[in-house]
Chain A
């Protein structure tokens, strides 16, 4: 893939200069070779800092929520996975389509800084592709105003639900042992929630004090309340960007549960992928229909 940074900078500069957007969200090169953190700029002079290298893995779309009441227009760079998150936020009516200028970047896979660190590599070429990118079905943005670079072919191999089937094969006791061992690791840093494009409420249920559904103390019982509730709140809405699992400092397989729910929805309501079409008919869990399956009644 050729380096699109030049084009990105030029476009960003133009957008800021002629006042089409008030700010740009992209990536810049960090202090370490394996970091490309988010970059927020409002001045045309700063656009030279923009990069799109192997480590531009963060989705930037949840930053749009910070400006939802500002009335400002943002130019934002999105990869395929990020763009589905953007569709989520738009469908949830948290920002208006007119308030973003979307610059699409086809992506053939990024690398995970943590893997760079743990693999002992000293340069990018030695780092394996990020785990979430191995399962990517949408390397090209599904929504954009302009696109930079050539479309990329999806290379996902294997079964979308392989990890789910692993769990399904376990007995109830084994499942319980598995999940409790995972959830007991959780620090409740809430990084997974904060990065999730589907977690876009103004006030998160976990932060509301009356009624308090999640106690502050960190114990298995409350960690489970946290994780199960989080998964249900994302049910039918998770866009499979994999950001939650990527950011978890404890390596909890968060996507495994998300995918289990996605699989259930597919089985019950037919094939469904969230965040792919902006103007889709209401999603399966977002409508009331008398024909909805109700096997328990």
Chain B
């Protein structure tokens, strides 16, 4: 005989004011299987929990029902109390007579009846529970960070400082991402490289961090605590173990006119190159596509001049496999390809229409113009500069519906820099709105306006070249009149979009992207750094457009999440997960595609059928991945899947208790 104990909580007057708790307890005593029932003022208090223990001893109870508040709140407390009383913590059911009854009803009689019904259901449910045990899975104490921008570096450093090894994979030849390309950063106008390159160096030197640059993650198997990762280290053609980074090769390489992506196309580099002088690692690689030795078997000058003999023309890609317990995604952003979309701005045929990132290189003292704002076409200093915001942002026809968040501020920064650096300059910003939510941001924008920057509200409808001027036509929507500016330089604040290949890497790692291709967080408000895949976390602009302070904060946040996973040798898994009844499972696999956590695979079993042994496939749940959401249970037609702790039988028993 099962012996259920029912405990009805008053929650002070929270429940008792509307529900006659004493009557609920008295009625509960009559339900089948109930051996003891009582009401109490505060079940969650120590005396309340002791009550459970005492009642179990005195009345030999083997199952517990608590009628109180939401399980979100105190289920763990009562499970522990059940366990302390010597009963398996899953032989327990909680029913909510506060949020579901007293807080939403006023009629005492009817509310009490509803509470009685809820307890009746909980008792029926608990009668069908079976003891469940937590299982544990081992944790590999190492993290993988994909992407070495400020987000990835911050995450790697914080995880490493927590004492766990980190592998940082960056596909470019240097870590750093976009930040070292920037000149100054809003709103403090401190030099971007000066705060970023020390971070790069610390990342490089940290004993717990291993960096693979010029590398990509090719394959990820496994699950939280136990990922197996395959990294492709692309051929560098320079042996970094021997290379001292002296840079002699770069000075001698005859192929000097290759556009440098670090300069956003505003400057050139050689075929053997470091992206910039502070690159980390501070050693060159050969860009095979542009190397005369590798393409035509000519030249070979770098090998001749290298004092250490580090050049390796026969270098090959290498595959590296590592085990990690947690993954942080930090693949950042790219800029919207405006040239393909904006015909009215010339599809990129006017050299003096540039992007914000190119402007960053122009004002940067270590950039191609040594920090002098000179326009690309003729190298002259522009006097009249037009900035256009929201190019590709907030434009669901040609671009993206969303706001890119950083452009208002960096355009204010650029406008300020233009006024500051160019005497007698005339700076006009075309804008849709000015959004300056952030500490010190509005003040920064106001200062720009005070600097004399002219803000015009409206979109630019056309740009065309006339002589050495760019004619910019738009509308001032506040004055309701057409505006024309004869500009020397036009700077477009282009939208931030997910970095190239981010969809593919999301697929490889096994989580989803949102409608714009940014990585999908598990909950937009409450779980912004998690994905639906346990053990995979998000940081920085890969999750959505954001500036450096938010990116760094997310890097640290994701690191805290990853460190929490790595802080244990093994991880307890909640037993409230899905289970498969092999005998019933037909192996149709509908659950495989349904599971948001990729926790289901088909596995082969052998069984006796029709007098012989046959092999067939059935679903199999990975207890490390299953989150117990129950999606598969609803999808499984034959009922081969069942959620432990919420079995179909338990739910049917509840329904029967209520309806029969």
* Chain A residues within CB distance 8 Å of chain B: 69-71, 92-94, 200-205, 208, 210-213, 233, 282, 285-291
Contacts and interface: CB of A to CB of B under 8 A. Distances in A.
A213 B652 contact: yes
21 contacts: A70-B610, A93-B617, A201-B588, A201-B638, A202-B586, A202-B638, A203-B640, A205-B638, A205-B639, A210-B649, A213-B652, A282-B593, A286-B590, A286-B593, A286-B594, A287-B593, A287-B594, A288-B595, A288-B631, A290-B520, A291-B515
B207 to A, nearest CB: 39
Contacts of A287: 593-594
Contacts of A205: 637-639
Chain A to chain B: the 9 pairs with minimum beta-carbon distance, closest first = A201-B638, A211-B649, A92-B588, A211-B652, A233-B637, A287-B593, A202-B586, A69-B609, A282-B593
B618 to A, nearest CB: 10
Given A69-B616, A94-B588, A288-B595, 5 more contacts: A94-B587, A202-B584, A205-B639, A211-B648, A282-B593
Contacts of B528: none
B590 A201 contact: no
A290 B520 CA distance: 8
Contacts of A288: 593-596, 631
Interface string B300-328: 00000000000000000000000000000
B638 A208 contact: yes
B586 A92 contact: yes
A94 B594 contact: no
B366 interface: no
A93 B595 CA distance: 18
Contacts of A202: 584-586, 638
A289 B649 contact: no
B252 to A, nearest CB: 52
Interface of B is mostly: loop
Contacts of A204: 638
Nearest to A212: B652
A261 to B, nearest CB: 14
Contact of A69 (B585, B596, B614, B635): B614
Interface in B581-626: 583-590, 593-596, 602, 609-610, 614, 616-617
B639 A208 contact: yes
B514 interface: yes
Contacts of A286: 590, 593-594, 635
Nearest to A205: B639
Nearest to A207: B638
Nearest to A233: B637
Interface of B: 512, 514-515, 520, 532, 583-590, 593-596, 602, 609-610, 614, 616-617, 631, 635, 637-640, 647-649, 652-653
Contacts of A201: 584, 586, 588, 637-638
B466 to A, nearest CB: 46
Contacts of B652: 211-213
Contacts of B617: 93
Nearest to B598: A288
Interface of A is mostly: loop
A203 B581 CA distance: 11
Contacts of A71: 614
Nearest to A289: B512
A227 B635 CA distance: 17
B586 A94 contact: yes
Contacts of B590: 92, 286
A270 to B, nearest CB: 15
A70 B586 CA distance: 15
A204 B532 CA distance: 32
A201 B584 CA distance: 8
Contacts of A203: 583-584, 586, 638, 640
B629 to A, nearest CB: 10
Contacts of B637: 201, 205, 233
A202, A208, A213, A289, most chain B CB atoms within 10 A:
A202
B610 A69 contact: yes
A94, A211, A287, most chain B CB atoms within 10 A:
A211
A148 B239 CA distance: 66
Contacts of B588: 92-94, 200-201
Contact of B512 (A92, A208, A290): A290
B610 A93 contact: no
A209 B653 CA distance: 13
A70 B610 CA distance: 8
Contact of A208 (B514, B584, B610): B584
Contacts of A210: 649
B601 to A, nearest CB: 13
Contacts of A211: 639, 647-649, 652-653
A71, A93, A282, most chain B CB atoms within 10 A:
A93
A93 B638 contact: no
Contacts of B593: 282, 286-288
A201, A210, A212, A291, most chain B CB atoms within 10 A:
A201
Contacts of A70: 610
Contacts of B602: 93
A291 B512 CA distance: 10
A104 B588 CA distance: 25
Contact of B514 (A92, A285, A290): A290
B515 to A, nearest CB: 6
A203 B640 CA distance: 9
A32 B548 CA distance: 83
Contacts of B520: 290
B589 A93 contact: yes
A119 to B, nearest CB: 37
B621 to A, nearest CB: 15
Contacts of A212: 652
Nearest to B614: A69
A46 B660 CA distance: 56
A94 B589 CA distance: 10
Nearest to B651: A211
A260 B595 CA distance: 26
Contacts of A282: 593
Contacts of B640: 203
A273 B590 CA distance: 17
A213 B638 CA distance: 11
A94 B638 CA distance: 14
A92 B617 CA distance: 12
Contacts of A69: 609-610, 614, 616
Nearest to B613: A69
Nearest to B634: A232
Contacts of B512: 289-290
A69, A71, A282, A291, most chain B CB atoms within 10 A:
A69
Contacts of B635: 285-286
B532, B584, B602, B614, most chain A CB atoms within 10 A:
B584
A71 B586 CA distance: 16
